[in-house]
Chain A
Amino acid sequence: GNSVTQMEGPVTLSEEAFLTINCTYTATGYPSLFWYVQYPGEGLQLLLKATKADDKGSNKGFEATYRKETTSFHLEKGSVQVSDSAVYFCALSDRNSNYQLIWGAGTKLIIKP
C-alpha cells in the first residue's frame, strides 16, 4: 500500500541556516505530493504541492521537487527564520485511493535566534 516516511525530529537550526526535511514515499500509482505546515496551536496549512514527476512546488521560500526516480519530495529552504518553527507534514494523494491523504509522521522544526 501507499506510505510516506519523513525524517524524525525535532530538527533544530539557527536562524538563516539551510533547511532540508527528507520525505520519501511508496505508491502503486502516480500520486500527488504535498507539504503541510502546522504552526503552534493552529490547524494545518497547505505549504506546497506537486502533481507529477519533476514538478517543483514552492511557497514562502520553501521548495520541493517531485523525484520519481528516488521516490522523494524533500522540503528545502535557503534561509530559515524563527517564524518557520512549526511541524511539517509530508503527504501523498492517489486517485486510486479516492484522493485520501496518506500522511508522514511529521517533523518538528525549531529555529533558534
Chain B
Amino acid sequence: SAVISQKPSRDICQRGTSLTIQCQVDSQVTMMFWYRQQPGQSLTLIATANQGSEATYESGFVIDKFPISRPNLTFSTLTVSNMSPEDSSIYLCSGKDRAFTDTQYFGPGTRLTVL
C-alpha cells in the first residue's frame, strides 16, 4: 500500500485568494487523483493528475480554477484559485499504486474554510 501525506492539513483563507495543497506519496504510484468532499457529502472527483502533462478534469471542474501539477511519480499539487465561500471543503488526494490494480489510498485531507 501507499502512504500519502498532505500539506496543509487545514487553512482559513480570505475570499479572492488562492491556496496550493501539496500531496506526497511514499512510493511511486501510477495514478494520482484529487477529490473534493463538501460538508456532510460524499467525494467528488476533481481531476486525475498526470505526470508531466496536463491533468484530466471531470465535468464541472476547470484548469483555471483548479490548476494541478504532477512533476514526478510521488508528488502533486492542487491550487484552489480565486476562492469563494463555496470552495470551503475537504480536499483529498489519492494514489493507485500499480497498473491494473484498482485500490486507491488516500491522504488525510486538507480542510479549507473560505471567509
Question: In this assembly, does A89 line the interface, its C-beta being within 8 Å of a C-beta of chain B?
Answer: yes
Question: In this assembly, does A93 line the interface, its C-beta being within 8 Å of a C-beta of chain B?
Answer: yes
Majority secondary structure of chain B interface residues (helix, strand, loop or mixed): strand
> In the bound complex, do residue A46 and residue B45 qualify as a contact, i.e. CB atoms below 8 Å apart?
no
**Which residues of the partner chain A approach B48 to less than 8 Å between Cβ atoms?**
98, 100
Nearest A residue (CB) for B90: A43
> In the bound complex, do residue A49 and residue B108 qualify as a contact, i.e. CB atoms below 8 Å apart?
no
Bound form: Cα–Cα A104–B41 in Å: 10
If A99-B31, A99-B96 touch, whether A43 touches B42 (CB-CB below 8 Å) is no
Minimal beta-carbon separation of B73 from chain A (angstroms): 17
**Total interface residues on A, using CB and 8 Å?**
21
Question: In this assembly, does B55 line the interface, its C-beta being within 8 Å of a C-beta of chain A?
Answer: no
Number of A-B contacts (CB under 8 A): 50
**Which residues of the partner chain A approach B105 to less than 8 Å between Cβ atoms?**
46
> In the bound complex, do residue A105 and residue B102 qualify as a contact, i.e. CB atoms below 8 Å apart?
no
> In the bound complex, do residue B92 and residue A44 qualify as a contact, i.e. CB atoms below 8 Å apart?
yes
> In the bound complex, do residue A99 and residue B102 qualify as a contact, i.e. CB atoms below 8 Å apart?
yes
Bound form: Cα–Cα A51–B100 in Å: 12
Question: In this assembly, does A69 line the interface, its C-beta being within 8 Å of a C-beta of chain B?
Answer: no
Question: In this assembly, does A20 line the interface, its C-beta being within 8 Å of a C-beta of chain B?
Answer: no
A contact residues vs B (CB 8 Å cutoff)? 32, 34, 36, 42-46, 49, 51, 89, 93, 95, 98-101, 103-106
B contact residues vs A (CB 8 Å cutoff)? 1, 6, 31, 33, 41-43, 45, 48, 92, 94, 96, 100-109
8 example contacts (A-B, Cβ-Cβ < 8 A) are as follows A34-B103, A43-B6, A44-B43, A45-B106, A46-B103, A93-B103, A101-B43, A105-B42
